[in-house]
Amino acid sequence: QPQDELPAPIPSLRHALSATPLRPRSRPDLALPLPHFIKSQQSEVTRILDGKRIQYQLVDISQDNALRDEMRALAGNPKATPPQIVNGDQYCGDYELFVEAVEQNTLQEFLKLA
């Protein structure tokens, strides 16, 4: 990458989603509570993002009902459970869609970075 170009925007991962964007469309966020399978999914998402050097923000919704409700509103599903990934106020998808994007090599598009 030439030195005069700015780096690509950086996603933000929300651990139990909050929709407070750091920069619009710059950071996907992931929503996660604490049951074991959710922690396992969160670990997989963070491992992949770390491996690809994509920065993110985890937001814990487990202690804040307003954040949980906000996650569900962004997901468009009143029963959505973490992890849910958003970039700013744009919903990206859930864990299954994240994994599918990784397998199809479309993660940048999924995270709304491309």
How many helices (H) does the chain have, and how many strands (E)?
4, 4
Please check the confidence at residue 43 and state whether its pLDDT lies above 50.
yes
Q: Where do the domains of the chain lie?
A: 28-110
Q: What is the pLDDT of residue 63?
A: 85
- Asked if 74 and 2 count as a contact pair (C-beta separation under 8 A), the reply is no
Gyration radius (Cα) of the chain, Å: 13
53-111 tens-digit pLDDT: 998 998 888 889 999 999 999 999 999 988 999 998 899 999 999 999 999 999 999 99
Please, what CATH class does the domain formed by 28-110 belong to? alpha beta
Q: What angle do CA 111, 27, 107 make, to 5 degrees?
A: 20
Tokens describing residue 92: 């990206």
Q: What is the pLDDT of residue 62?
A: 84
Q: What is the pLDDT of residue 1?
A: 46
